[in-house]
Structure 1
């Protein structure tokens, strides 16, 4: 005959330990593999922002997943920047497809109203709109704050 009280105590002790251990492991892994973002509140054209990020950091921010976008929005929420920010994405003027400047594959996309498909304009650079939490295409010459990243 089994002692149900002992099993219950052991189970109730092990389960929280297992979940806490998993949470800690995930946090450690996210610290190792997450990119570190750096917001720059100075308004620059997209090209000037790209040059600044490439000179001072690993590059202009890219968004590889919904989780990474969530981390970026959470980070930006703690800054004084409350508007659209340049991200490191641009559209090919010849072929019309969007690409990340650091050659990351474009797997995750989050465009406002699927605006990326209209190629009949001069809006060839991407911003992250913090209020709508969506990507919006913009004219690359327009000034905006931007986000750089360090790390892999």
Structure 2
């Protein structure tokens, strides 16, 4: 239990008792993420998959692994990663690039976190109170994992989100077509106030200026990516799209001062440039998100006259 969890407790004595009672065990049964969390709840004293919000907890988890990779209570919601017990998601120990992969459940290995498909089967780390005898009991060979009838996850959060949608096309036949579904997100970067936005993928290929003119007439502007969660939303929108080699976004270079900025006014505090990008300061002044396989939806600089699909931003 992290320090901030202590602040949420109504009784300090009760909190200290819970800390002392909560143990961590490695269950050497290979289960999916959901099955593992059910097991922690049903067989390990009403526990959950382990939450890791501090260095001491990371050390505890690592000491239990015995060289294995195991599920922890980390899953992806619609907009962000989250802990199964509702703990704050501030402390992170992702291996390089793992948080951006298109899987929705987390494992730990060698003190680092990895993103895996929730249907894969791993050992798992449980928080326990007073576990029953079958908490860590090895399963009968050949027996399929099962969940008790009527059981439910102890987690108060939603089921992990893994993108798996198909694209359809909508829009006027005499103009650029928007790819559906669009993706929405909420931002609180502007003076602490929350604003809701929708991103529209436009498949018609246009120059950067043409794309911006279209976005401003049909929506609000070319999309900015001011934070990591918006980058994830954009990546999710492009995952199953036919938008190779990439899409225009509202990223532009000031030719006088040489700085990059968002044309819709977003603050430029976050970047996701690809390796050795931007690479051509003399002729490539417009920004795109790469759809090329293996580039992980990173940003690239490109000549503004190149014809590409684009992503428009609409303020809700």
TM more than 0.5: yes
In the other structure, the counterpart of 1:73 is 235
Instruction: Report how far residue 23 of structure 1 moved.
Output: 4.4
Instruction: State the Cα deviation string for residues 118-148 of structure 1 (Å, max 9, x = none).
Output: 52x2100001002312100000011111110
Q: CA RMSD in A?
A: 2.8
Write 1 or 2 for the structure with the bigger share of strand: 2
Cα separation, 2, equivalents of 1:32 and 1:134: 19
For the pair shown, which has the larger CA radius of gyration, 1 or 2?
2
Cα separation, 2, equivalents of 1:108 and 1:55: 27
In the other structure, the counterpart of 1:12 is 46
Instruction: Report how far residue 75 of structure 1 moved.
Output: 1.1
Matched, 1:129 2:290: yes
Asked if the contact 2:243–2:291 (Cα under 8 Å) also holds between the matched residues in 1, the reply is no
In the other structure, the counterpart of 1:148 is 312
The list of structure 1 runs, each at least 4 consecutive aligned residues, that deviate by more than 4 angstroms after superposition, is none
Deviates more, 1:95-104 or 1:75-84: 75-84
Count of residues in Structure 1 that have an aligned counterpart in Structure 2? 137
* Distance of aligned partners of 1:105 and 1:117 in 2 relative to their CA distance in 1, 3 Å threshold: farther
In the other structure, the counterpart of 2:271 is 109
Cα separation, 1, equivalents of 2:272 and 2:237: 18
Q: Secondary structure at the residue paired with 1:147?
A: strand
Query: Scaled by the length of structure 2, what TM-score is found?
Result: 0.39
* Distance of aligned partners of 1:118 and 1:32 in 2 relative to their CA distance in 1, 3 Å threshold: closer
Higher relative contact order (CA 8 A, sep 6+): 1
Cα separation, 1, equivalents of 2:274 and 2:239: 19
Asked if the contact 2:197–2:314 (Cα under 8 Å) also holds between the matched residues in 1, the reply is yes
Q: Secondary structure at the residue paired with 1:12?
A: coil
Instruction: Report how far residue 117 of structure 1 moved.
Output: 6.6
5+ residue gaps in structure 1?
25-30
Write 1 or 2 for the structure with the bigger share of helix: 1
Cα separation, 2, equivalents of 1:128 and 1:97: 18
Cα separation, 1, equivalents of 2:216 and 2:284: 22
What does residue range 29-108 of structure 1 map to in structure 2 within 5 Å? 33=186, 35-108=197-270
Query: Scaled by the length of structure 1, what TM-score is found?
Result: 0.77
Instruction: Report how far residue 97 of structure 1 moved.
Output: 0.1
